[in-house]
Amino acid sequence: MYFTSEKSEHGVLERDFTLGEITGVLWTPESPSPADTSEPAPLILMGHSGGVHKRAPNLVTNARYFVTECGYSVAAIDAPGHGDRPRNAEDTRWTEQLHAARAAGEPMDAIIAEFNLSLAARAVPEWQATLDALQALPEIGPDAPVGFCGITLGTVIGMHLAAVEPRIQAATFGSVFVFDALFEVAKRITIPLTLDIAWHDEEIDRQPSFALFDAFASQDKLLTARPGRHNQMTGSTPGFSAWFLREHLGR
């Protein structure tokens, strides 16, 4: 893992990094916790929406909140073909198909499912390698409890990660376009989690989200809904995710 840039602002140290082909960013407290703190600060992995990148404005707002209000570390990586990463021919084809279907008012379900599954299959080992590298940093360490926050594509990737990676101890998911393959993934997830839906989402129906919520094997799960359309919910604050993850990760 190589840090390629560094800036410090309002108590938050923000560093870009690369790890092989992966491009990411790490936010940590400017003033590390005192050495005598008995428990390591939790680490939050954040998964961005499809079509944007590791520095999507909402993601950055949430990341900075976790650092300044909770003293946590936060990392985000670009999904394959997103942000600072080159897009391969197959991803380009899927993206063009999505744009064409949206413009023509045709269903996008099958394309989203296939595209998201392919991205998740590639992103899971990338997140695992990133987590290895982050835990090797002295300011994070191997014992930091780890949580995942994701929306839309970030939820699909985070679900696949949480299903196979025992280091993920709690998660907040949201606004996910639900397709059949996700139900089998949800059945393998047992960690405490929340599933957030936009109550007036014009792109994602409520019923499949309810069914996905039912499918999670987690005992401790919480469904939340806020008024608003897709990615335009009112009253949304980073405080909710922070509250939930703090209940399960500590500090």
* Binding-site ranges for a copy of itself (CB under 8 A): 192, 199, 213, 219-227, 234-235, 237, 239-240, 243, 247
Q: Shortest gap between Cβ of 79 and a copy of itself (angstroms)?
A: 28
Q: Shortest gap between Cβ of 74 and a copy of itself (angstroms)?
A: 19
By beta-carbon proximity to a copy of itself, the closer residue of 118 and 190 is 190
By beta-carbon proximity to a copy of itself, the closer residue of 188 and 226 is 226
By beta-carbon proximity to a copy of itself, the closer residue of 3 and 199 is 199
Going by C-alpha positions, the residue among 6, 57, 48, 47 that lies closest to residue 27 is 6
By beta-carbon proximity to a copy of itself, the closer residue of 85 and 230 is 230
Q: Confirm if 71 and 33 have CB atoms less than 8 A apart.
A: yes
Q: Shortest gap between Cβ of 192 and a copy of itself (angstroms)?
A: 7
Q: Shortest gap between Cβ of 85 and a copy of itself (angstroms)?
A: 35
The tokens of 109 are what?
Answer: 């379900």
By beta-carbon proximity to a copy of itself, the closer residue of 24 and 145 is 145
DSSP letter at 22 equals: E
Alpha carbons 2 and 101: distance in angstroms, whole number: 39
Q: Shortest gap between Cβ of 156 and a copy of itself (angstroms)?
A: 22
DSSP letter at 63 equals: H
Question: Please, which contacts does 125-132 make with residues 24 or more away whose CB atoms are closer than 8 Å?
Answer: 126/22, 126/77, 126/80, 127/45, 127/77, 127/157, 127/161, 127/165, 128/161, 128/165, 129/19, 129/20, 129/22, 130/1, 130/19, 130/22, 130/24, 130/45, 130/75, 130/77, 131/45, 131/165, 131/167
By beta-carbon proximity to a copy of itself, the closer residue of 125 and 239 is 239
Q: Shortest gap between Cβ of 250 and a copy of itself (angstroms)?
A: 13
